[in-house]
Amino acid sequence: SQQGEEDPQALSIQEGENATMNCSYKTSINNLQWYRQNSGRGLVHLILIRSNEREKHSGRLRVTLDTSKKSSSLLITASRAADTASYFCATGDGRANQAGTALIFGKGTTLSVSS
Amino acid sequence: DAGVIQSPRHEVTEMGQEVTLRCKPISGHNSLFWYRQTMMRGLELLIYFNNNVPIDDSGMPEDRFSAKMPNASFSTLKIQPSEPRDSAVYFCASSLADRVVGYTFGSGTRLTVV
């Protein structure tokens, strides 16, 4: 079963605009991760936010986490055509040991940035 | 590091045939994950290993699927016999088992069963 659900399923914007994608999840988490997938490629890790963090930045990426609402958002500022990809949130702490759980991914948001 | 290496990149096989997918994780990573991606079901976790030992295989859809990790640098996912509904992209990922860090994914194997 999948933990995270992204919204919207698809998003089309113009270069230079901001893109916001949302992720909702159902159970308690200790961290949430965002990944990007270009067409025909594997997923690439973008950013990890822990449950005691509310906001995190990495370059043009801004991630927020609201554990009370069980939701996260990924904001890409000043988007470029190269940002065209699918974006996934993942929950589960990711550790493969007895204390952890492997990552579970949502179905993703497909972002299209046109020039 | 060359990253996580999967082979083959594409596989087309006939229904009933055995299919073996291969994965070489990043050197030093001690956890390995197999995922399957389809349009209908998204990314599904099939099985994962810690220090070559399977930890959770509850995602393996049927007994036709099996996975092994004979050493720290190699894992296989086998489907025998294959069926058309197994058609999907299969991804391997690796990470550090005891740390909360991102996964490194391979480029995937696109399997088509006809």
Residue A99 has what pLDDT? 67
Backbone CA torsion sign across B57, B92, B69, A104: negative
The per-residue pLDDT for B59 is 93
Whether residue B102 and residue A35 make contact (CB cut-off 8 A), yes or no, is yes
Cβ of residue A9 closer than 8 Å to a chain B Cβ: no
- Per-residue pLDDT at A98: 66
Whether residue A104 and residue B45 make contact (CB cut-off 8 A), yes or no, is: yes
The Cα B22–Cα B59 span in angstroms is 18
First to last CA, chain A: 37
Q: Assess B53–A contact: CB distance below 8 Å, yes or no.
A: no
Nearest CA in chain B to A103: B45
Nearest to A42 among B45, B55, B108 (CB): B108
- The rounded Cα B78 to chain-centroid distance in angstroms is 9
Q: Does B42 touch chain A (CB under 8 A)?
A: yes
Task: State which residue of chain B sits closest to A105, comparing Cα positions.
Answer: B43
B55-102 pLDDT, tens digit each: 999 999 989 999 999 999 999 999 999 999 999 999 999 998 878 889
Q: In angstroms, rounded to a whole number, what is the distance separating the alpha carbons of residues A61 and A54?
A: 14
User: What pLDDT score was predicted for residue B16?
Assistant: 98
Residue of B nearest to A102 (CA): B48
Task: Tell me which chain B residues have a C-beta less than 8 angstroms from the C-beta of A43.
Answer: 43, 91, 93, 103, 105
pLDDT in tens, A17-59: 999 999 999 988 889 999 999 999 999 999 999 999 999 999 9
Residue type at A66? D
Determine, for residues A50 and B104 on separate chains, whether the beta-carbon distance falls below 8 Å.
no
Whole-number pLDDT of residue A30 = 86
Ramachandran class of A92: left when φ > 0, alpha when ψ lies in -120 to 50, beta otherwise: left
A72-115 pLDDT per residue, tens: 999 999 999 999 999 999 998 777 776 677 899 999 999 999 99
Residues 6 or more apart in contact with residue B32 via CB below 8 angstroms: A96, B23, B25, B48, B49, B69, B75, B92, B93, B94
User: What is each CA distance from A114 to A11, A16, A50, A77, in whole angstroms?
Assistant: 11, 9, 33, 14
The answer to whether A97 and A82 have CB atoms below 8 angstroms apart is: no
Residue A106 CA to residue A91 CA, distance in Å, equals: 9
The alpha carbon of residue A40 and the mean position of all alpha carbons in its chain are separated, in whole angstroms, by 19
| B52 at A interface, C-beta within 8 A | no
The span from the CA of B8 to the CA of B23, in Å, is: 9
- Give B42's contacts in chain A (Cβ within 8 Å): 2, 105-108
Chain-wide mean pLDDT for chain A?
A: 92
